[in-house]
Amino acid sequence: MREDTAAGTAASQALAMLSAFASVGARAFNLTLTDIAGEKVEGSYRPNAPLEQLRRTIDHVLGDAARRQHNVIIRPRSATATLIQLDDLDFAKAERLAPHSFIVFQTSPANYQAWVAVEKGAPEDFSRRLRKGAGADATASGSTRIAGSLNFKTKYAPTFPQVEITHANPGHVTSAAVLDQAGFVAAPEEAKPPRPAYTRPVTPSGRPSRKKWPSYSFCVQHAPMTHGEDRPDISRADFTWCRTAIEWGWSVQDTASRLMELSSKARENGERYAMLTATNAASSVERQPYRKNSGLRPA
């Protein structure tokens, strides 16, 4: 992969990334900071920060974050294209995706991320199928480290890698058809018979009992570890919890609302993340056999 953007300073890398997102319609970003343990820094969340404001302040933000060992996380918002994050890629996958992406960057040694802008009107399940076909992380939240920032994780200490752009193609918007023809899109999954309808338990008197929420702490404690780290993968925990809640009879909307109360990642990434996680969990329940015994107890 050729280096289309020189490493430059931290600020120049960040500005180049913001410009790439702006070129495909992003005019506002959610911004937050996390510490070396991956926890959100209290009071750091800035929703809908205007593009021009970030451009003016990013040099100061990066400098302060570097001194405090904070990660700088942004979530772009575009009204003109669907932005799809393809995370946890190796070099070969990133290289194949580069011609179809408006930006590709390295987040840590041997770990890359590509962003694709797709014309509006793609099938509803297109993002999921693209992630699957490209071999990317299926649970990517749409938030990312900004280029030029340092990736503060304990395992990298004391030499923390810088997030660096490896390919930039500003303004590149593609279509679902082009990506499908290039072989990056998984085939639609065959419709499965509907799962058995949820039957609410009854009390000895024959009246329906009140529904219970599954234990969120159980899901976190039994979640797989984050890739390359010694801490639970909260995205996986959120998905498992949502799937179980839906199996237990809760609606997608109720599940997403409850997730916002329980999950720090949902609060960080907003209602769209919670609804997407709950919706994907509901789809998973429809595709896979109904699990009567999930091992989870009520909260």
User: Phi, psi (5° rounding) for residue 32?
Assistant: -150, 165
> What pLDDT score was predicted for residue 228?
58
- The per-residue pLDDT for 201 is 47
Q: In what order do the strands lie in the sheet with 111-118?
A: 82-89, 111-118, 103-108, 164-168
pLDDT in tens, the chain (299 residues): 433 433 348 999 999 999 999 999 999 999 999 999 888 899 999 999 999 999 999 999 999 999 999 999 999 988 899 999 999 999 999 999 999 999 999 999 999 999 999 999 888 889 999 999 999 988 787 899 999 999 999 999 999 999 999 999 999 999 999 999 999 999 987 655 554 444 444 444 444 445 789 999 999 988 887 765 667 889 999 999 999 999 988 999 999 999 999 998 888 888 889 999 999 999 988 887 555 445 565 56
Instruction: Tell which CATH architecture fits domain 10-181.
Output: 2-Layer Sandwich (3.30)
Secondary structure (DSSP) of 55-88: HHHHHHHHHHHHHHT-EEEEEEEESSSEEEEEEE
CATH 3.30.70.1790 range(s) for the chain read: 10-181
Distances (CA, A) of 134 to 85, 93, 117, 158: 11, 7, 15, 33
**DSSP one-letter string for 236-254:** HHHHHHHHHHHHTT--HHH
The pLDDT of residue 204: 46
- The Cα 166–Cα 255 span in angstroms is 39
Which pLDDT value is given to residue 249?
87
pLDDT at 196: 46
Q: At what angle do helices 271-287 and 252-262 cross, to 10 degrees?
A: 130
Which tokens hold the place of 45?
């969340």
Range(s) for CATH 1.10.1240 in the chain? 190-299
Helix axes 252-262, 234-247, angle to 10 degrees: 140
Q: In this structure, what token pair is assigned to residue 173?
A: 């918007």
> What is the rounded CA–CA span in Å between residue 139 and residue 115?
15
166: three-class secondary structure by DSSP = strand
Tokens of residue 137, six digits = 């992380």
Secondary structure element (H or E) that encloses residue 140, with its range:
none
- CATH code for the structural domain at 190-299: 1.10.1240
